[in-house]
Amino acid sequence: MKILNFGSCNIDYVYRVDHIAKEGETLSCKSRQLFPGGKGLNQSVALARAGAQVFHAGCVGVNEVELCEIMASSGVKLELLKRVESKTGHTVVQVDKTGKNSIIVYGGANLQITPQYIDEVLREFTKGDYILLQNEISNVPYIVEKAAGKGMIVALNPSPYNDVIDEIDLNKIDYLILNEHEANSLSGKSSPEAFVEYITQAYPAMKIVLTLGEKGSLYIDHEQTIVQPSYRVKVVDTTGGGDTFTGYFLAGIAASKCAAKAMKHAAFAAALAVSRQGSAVSIPTGDEVDYVIDLLKPNDEIYSRKQRLVHETIRNNLEDITLEKVAAVLGYSPSYASRWINDNMQMPFGDIVRKVRCAEAAKLLREGELAISEIINQIGYSNESFFRKIFQKEYGKTPLEYRKFCARMKVLKEKDG
Determine if residue 7 is labeled as part of a ligand binding site.
no
Determine if residue 99 is labeled as part of a ligand binding site.
no
Distance separating the N- and C-terminal Cα atoms of the chain: 41
Determine if residue 136 is labeled as part of a ligand binding site.
yes
Determine if residue 88 is labeled as part of a ligand binding site.
no
Determine if residue 40 is labeled as part of a ligand binding site.
yes
Determine if residue 369 is labeled as part of a ligand binding site.
no
Determine if residue 216 is labeled as part of a ligand binding site.
yes
Determine if residue 273 is labeled as part of a ligand binding site.
yes
Determine if residue 183 is labeled as part of a ligand binding site.
no
Determine if residue 325 is labeled as part of a ligand binding site.
no
Determine if residue 317 is labeled as part of a ligand binding site.
no
Determine if residue 163 is labeled as part of a ligand binding site.
no
Determine if residue 239 is labeled as part of a ligand binding site.
yes
Q: How far apart, in whole angstroms, are the C-alpha atoms of residue 342 and residue 396?
A: 25
Determine if residue 110 is labeled as part of a ligand binding site.
no
> Which residue from 364, 384, 176, 394 is spatially nearest to 290, judged by alpha carbons?
394
Determine if residue 282 is labeled as part of a ligand binding site.
yes
Determine if residue 128 is labeled as part of a ligand binding site.
no
**3-state SS of the chain?**
CCEEEECCCEEEEEEECCCCCCCCCCCCCCEEEEEEECHHHHHHHHHHHCCCCEEEECEEECCCCHHHHHHHHHCCECCCCEEECCCCEEEEEEECCCCCEEEEEECHHHHCCCHHHHHHHHCCCCCCCEEEECCCCCCHHHHHHHHHHCCCEEEECCCCCCHHHHCCCHHHCCEEEEEHHHHHHHHCCCCHHHHHHHHHHHCCCCEEEEECHHHCEEEECCCCEEEECCECCCCCCCCCHHHHHHHHHHHHHHCCCCHHHHHHHHHHHHHHHHCCCCCHHHCCCHHHHHHHCCCCCECCCCCCHHHHHHHHHHHHCCCCCCHHHHHHHHCCCHHHHHHHHHHHHCCCHHHHHHHHHHHHHHHHHHHCCCCHHHHHHHCCCCCHHHHHHHHHHHHCCCHHHHHHHHHHHHHHHHHHC
**Residues recognised as catalytic:** 243
Determine if residue 355 is labeled as part of a ligand binding site.
no
Determine if residue 75 is labeled as part of a ligand binding site.
no
As annotated, the binding site includes: 10-12, 38-42, 136, 179, 211-216, 237, 239, 242-243, 273, 276, 278, 282
Binding residues for K(+): 237, 239, 273, 276, 278, 282
Binding positions for ATP? 179, 211-216, 242-243
